[in-house]
Structure 1
């Protein structure tokens, strides 16, 4: 996975950049054809279009540095995480200033672009090189965190297999000062970068053709909503599974630094590249467009309120709940006096709100949004649907593991929970 996924990212980029999203393969499977395909169709385009450059380094690492500085100095509430067994039940403090950092970033980007200091369209112009810098940074940061953990003696749940431990991580809560690196990487980098990639495509479209399309506007809205949701709900993150349990290794670091922003953006990139190649934007009928906007917004509503219900329920049990009026505050985001099942382990299984309708409503919402990202591009390429297909496989596998783990852990309490909430994704369907 550590070799294959970066290679796949380059392959998909070549298909988008040079072949309008068409998947390419060798004309024959003999050694000569394979060598020619590798050298002429893959390696040469990568060297020519995705080699690291100083502008790309300045754009990507400049944002990484900015986001870290803002995470360190911006204002925000301090929230306590869950008790950590390896720290003898201690609860780490998290400065949740993602929302103020997000607004500062948007304001700075608008100022730089409007004054001509930095053209937002240059992001997509340097996409291949920026992706390479992100990939290199993903490996670099993983190595730095791993080595620092070994030197400081903060290794946690090590297997003894270097490659596995490098992939899963050695440290549970790596920090620089009061900045939690795991939460910073998960919230502050991938989603804002994804948004700016889509915004760059929209700016480029306007600069070239003097107008913007409903399809690219759709993608900018979609990625803004996702990025904004992560920042405005950051205070809910300290009680999440990733922060509480997952170690900070290649799996989380690389995926957040490079995987998320540079693969989830394929729909936006395909819409722009298709228009630049044909001179015509991908458009749809008004009813179809309205349907997709509706699908996106309904999915977002369930995603936002579902995650809010679950995490605010956890925060109430953790004693860290507080009311925060961050835009947009959607109705039914907080359940008062929720129903739940208290297990013999003392854990509480929520059975109110969306969580009384299905066991994984936020997964359903995520899939609704991700399929809309593909459908807005039409059916000319598989690549805009990569995110949906990848996510479908990941979530299905994760659900099966969750069900198995919970059944083993909770026993009869889990049986009762499944009786009260019988459906996993869609009520009365599955």
Structure 2
């Protein structure tokens, strides 16, 4: 079954034509949403007639050329971030974590140097010093949003191409379909590395979530300089992105046990979204709040209590569910001592867990949050994404893009995962599904 799963059998995402559409459509969508948010008060503008299409597209293009050009400043800032994070990943102290056995490597487990947390602290200190001494003001990030977004797109396409060509030339490739566009999109290699840096794990945390948090801080700094204070809504986004970033960094040692590491290839699908899509389409609420009157999105006291309580509850479930699953997988490898980083939340490890022993050799967890849902982490993750848009109320639909896009991704990702598990585990998967009946929401679906 493992050999079968490591071979290309069917096309996903609509095959070559589908992936070409996705690679063309998403950059255009990112530009469109940013233009609507920045220059049209968050309204989804469109041509009023067929005759208006050409002038409308001309206006869109002019905004891109003028306000989102890949200028030298944006190249310097974004490239500096990438180089600095590669440097930190190479030199900062970290936690050595063994990954799961990789079938394509003869079931050899790879070692991962998990130093995202120390790199995060180094990044925050560096950013604070640069801001304090006016060497690089954090407000410049939100002020140059469009230019940085375009440069990030160049990186997304370029790194994807470079990785694909390297895999083909070196022979370090897997699951190729033989179609260039499809293999470029899905990826050709599984575990690309530079020295002791696993690029796939590095790009999953260091670039997207660091930038997302720094954009939120930039928006808060912008508000403080403009208004003299930071609104509770903007403070919410700083808290929300800080929680997510810190969780990714402190729990980096859990990433090697995920499907992303031992099965998902590193292609455009993952690379572009990590380097460009996530950082520049997940915090539209910050972009809106940094340029609009706070009165347009102010909440009541009860509203603030509700949304802050919601995200803290969802975060707790997401963090502990992820830890329960990862610690369980580590336990099956004989690892019983887990890394302790701040914050350690109650019930992040299930004592004496119940599980289904499969004929394949793996164990399927049926304890903790995983007794009620096959993907409890996805549900909590989506709720958090919804609050990132809801923090500005109904002033614009664009800040909700993250949650709308995310639910589509999660459902598709689950279908891929469940299909793979059905093939891999057979009747054991059917038995698991009879015990853990609900895919997402307990007692609902």
User: Structure 1 CA distance, aligned partners of 2:107 and 2:411?
Assistant: 32
> Could you tell me how far 1:292 is from its partner in structure 2?
0.3
User: Structure 2 CA distance, aligned partners of 1:396 and 1:87?
Assistant: 29
> Could you tell me how far 1:405 is from its partner in structure 2?
3.7
> Could you tell me how far 1:79 is from its partner in structure 2?
1.2
> Could you tell me how far 1:51 is from its partner in structure 2?
0.2
Whether 1:10 and 2:28 are equivalent positions in the alignment is no
Whether 1:187 and 2:205 are equivalent positions in the alignment is yes
User: Structure 2 CA distance, aligned partners of 1:3 and 1:190?
Assistant: 21
After superposition, the C-alpha distances for 1:301-335 in whole angstroms (9 at most, x for unaligned) are 01100000001111121234532221111011111
8 Å CA contact 2:283, 2:388 repeated in 1: no
Q: Give 1:199's match in structure 2, choosing from 191, 197, 217.
A: 217
Q: Give 1:268's match in structure 2, choosing from 247, 264, 286.
A: 286
1:311 is paired with a residue whose SS is helix
8 Å CA contact 1:271, 1:281 repeated in 2: no
User: Structure 2 CA distance, aligned partners of 1:359 and 1:259?
Assistant: 27
Q: Which residue of 1 aligns with 2:400?
A: 385
User: Structure 2 CA distance, aligned partners of 1:304 and 1:186?
Assistant: 17
User: Structure 2 CA distance, aligned partners of 1:136 and 1:163?
Assistant: 17
Q: Give 1:38's match in structure 2, choosing from 47, 52, 57.
A: 57
Q: How does 1:222-301 map to 2 (within 5 A)?
A: 222-275=240-293, 280=295, 282-301=297-316
User: Structure 1 CA distance, aligned partners of 2:275 and 2:334?
Assistant: 32
8 Å CA contact 2:156, 2:271 repeated in 1: yes
Q: Which residue of 2 aligns with 1:343?
A: 358
Mean Cα deviation higher: 350-359 or 310-319: 310-319
> Could you tell me how far 1:398 is from its partner in structure 2?
2.4
Q: Which residue of 1 aligns with 2:174?
A: 156
> Could you tell me how far 1:428 is from its partner in structure 2?
2.0
Superposition TM-score, scaled by structure 1 size: 0.96
Q: How does 1:9-408 map to 2 (within 5 A)?
A: 9-30=30-51, 33-40=52-59, 42-275=60-293, 280=295, 282-320=297-335, 322-408=337-423
User: Structure 2 CA distance, aligned partners of 1:429 and 1:202?
Assistant: 39
Aligned length: 424
User: Structure 1 CA distance, aligned partners of 2:430 and 2:43?
Assistant: 47
User: Structure 2 CA distance, aligned partners of 1:400 and 1:188?
Assistant: 28
User: Structure 1 CA distance, aligned partners of 2:34 and 2:162?
Assistant: 27
8 Å CA contact 1:358, 1:421 repeated in 2: yes
Q: Which residue of 1 aligns with 2:443?
A: 428
1:94 is paired with a residue whose SS is strand
User: Structure 2 CA distance, aligned partners of 1:161 and 1:228?
Assistant: 39
> Could you tell me how far 1:426 is from its partner in structure 2?
2.1
8 Å CA contact 2:385, 2:402 repeated in 1: yes
CA RMSD of aligned residues (A): 1.4
8 Å CA contact 1:205, 1:272 repeated in 2: yes
> Could you tell me how far 1:343 is from its partner in structure 2?
1.5
1:167 is paired with a residue whose SS is helix
After superposition, the C-alpha distances for 1:124-153 in whole angstroms (9 at most, x for unaligned) are 000000001100011111111111112211
User: Structure 2 CA distance, aligned partners of 1:274 and 1:418?
Assistant: 48
Q: Which residue of 1 aligns with 2:425?
A: 410
Q: Which residue of 1 aligns with 2:15?
A: none
Gaps in structure 2 of 5+ consecutive residues: 1-21
8 Å CA contact 2:131, 2:138 repeated in 1: yes
1:92 is paired with a residue whose SS is strand
User: Structure 2 CA distance, aligned partners of 1:245 and 1:209?
Assistant: 48
After superposition, the C-alpha distances for 1:25-75 in whole angstroms (9 at most, x for unaligned) are 012123xx21111112x0001111000122211221111111110001100
8 Å CA contact 2:297, 2:395 repeated in 1: no
> Could you tell me how far 1:85 is from its partner in structure 2?
2.1
1:95 is paired with a residue whose SS is strand
> Could you tell me how far 1:10 is from its partner in structure 2?
0.6
Gaps in structure 1 of 5+ consecutive residues: none
